[in-house]
Amino acid sequence: MKTIKNLYSYYLVLPALLIYCIFFVIPAFAGFYYSFTDWRLDRLTIDFIGWENFTKIFHDKTLTLALKNTLIFAIATVVGKNLVGIVLAVALNMRLKTRNMLRAIFYSPSILSILVIGIVFTPMLRTEGTVNRLLDAVGLHALSQAWLTDPSIVIWTIAVISIWQHAGFQMAIYLAGLQSISQEYYEAATIDGAGSWKKFTKITLPLLLPAININLMLTLIGGLKVFSEVFVLTGGGPGNASQVVGTIILRSFGEGSWGLGTAINTLLFVAVTIIAIPLLIFMRRKEVTE
């Protein structure tokens, strides 16, 4: 049998490996190197400057704001997408007449481009836009806001739009998880006299753990990598109020400060890896013990 194993030639891995390395891995490693240089559009030479780019990131007001906004966006969307997703999944796992149609409706925004969603929401979120007019109409004038132009709330508005778009995607993963739980557990619990809440916390949540894990990881990584939402809705404005790491990289690229832009990218790389690897190891271990 040993000889048969060798027949599985590594040549078949080569195309995927080459494409992946050339366009993803090599740039990532090059990124580490260029983060420590003064690589700029207007300079002919590239010199090593140590940690200078990184100290700049933490001392520049706009750049620290971008880091803060990225964190706010990531945390808000992780909480929002998962809470809404799990509530929708549990509700749409009940025997409702319209559940297939409702599932399709709640999932549908996640197949649209953020460009479409961003452009549709922009006029609706103006001071005199549809959202504020609706709030006025139901007597909630006090809640109306300059959603995309008030610097203190703009990043939250963007987070809510992202939750609006993707909670249905999280819902679909939770639904798949729910459907893999055997009904027998619930029947046994009913016989033992357990109420709905008890069933949810003692049966549903623990058995939903794989789906919760994958969803937390997807939303967290996606949240830290945020770019398109901010780019389409505000471009980082008003002023720099909604800049995030992703938009700062684009700005540095446009300004020709490539070394600095790469350093910010490296910072994101390290942050995402540090957060995701322990989660990943935890998940792999569980897979082995299964």
CA-nearest of 119, 115, 65, 78 to 242 is 65
Tell me if 81 sits within 8 A of 166, measured CB to CB: yes
205 binds another protein (CB under 8 A): no
24 binds another protein (CB under 8 A): yes
Judged by CB under 8 A, which of 10, 152, 183, 197 binds another protein? 10
> Rounded to the nearest whole angstrom, what is the least distance from the CB of residue 245 to another protein in the complex?
9
> Rounded to the nearest whole angstrom, what is the least distance from the CB of residue 201 to another protein in the complex?
18
Rounded Cα–Cα distance for residues 237 and 241 (Å): 5
AA letter at 155: I
> Rounded to the nearest whole angstrom, what is the least distance from the CB of residue 269 to another protein in the complex?
6
Rounded Cα–Cα distance for residues 69 and 215 (Å): 21
Rounded Cα–Cα distance for residues 69 and 239 (Å): 14
- Cβ-based nearer residue to another protein, 87 or 152: 87
219 binds another protein (CB under 8 A): no
121 binds another protein (CB under 8 A): yes
Task: Map tokens 């559940």 to a residue.
Answer: 99
Cβ partners under 8 Å of residue 229, min gap 6: 114, 118, 158, 161, 162
113 binds another protein (CB under 8 A): yes
> Rounded to the nearest whole angstrom, what is the least distance from the CB of residue 3 to another protein in the complex?
9
- Cβ-based nearer residue to another protein, 64 or 115: 115
Q: Which stretch binds another protein (CB under 8 A): 65-73, 124-132, 151-159, 197-205?
A: 124-132
> Rounded to the nearest whole angstrom, what is the least distance from the CB of residue 255 to another protein in the complex?
12
Rounded Cα–Cα distance for residues 77 and 178 (Å): 22
152 binds another protein (CB under 8 A): no
Site for another protein in 59-98 (CB under 8 A): 88, 91-92, 94-98
Number of residues that bind another protein (CB under 8 A): 91
- Cβ-based nearer residue to another protein, 83 or 176: 176
Give me the phi and psi of 48, to 5 degrees please.
Answer: -75, 125
> Rounded to the nearest whole angstrom, what is the least distance from the CB of residue 79 to another protein in the complex?
18
140 binds another protein (CB under 8 A): no
Site for another protein in 222-251 (CB under 8 A): 224-225, 227-228, 231-232, 246, 249-250
CB atoms within 10 A of CB 100: 10
Site for another protein in 165-194 (CB under 8 A): 168, 172-174, 176-177, 180
Within the chain, where are the H helices?
Answer: 2-7, 14-20, 26-34, 52-59, 61-91, 99-107, 114-124, 130-137, 154-179, 183-191, 196-199, 205-207, 209-224, 228-233, 245-255, 258-289
Q: Which stretch binds another protein (CB under 8 A): 22-30, 58-66, 74-82, 136-144?
A: 22-30
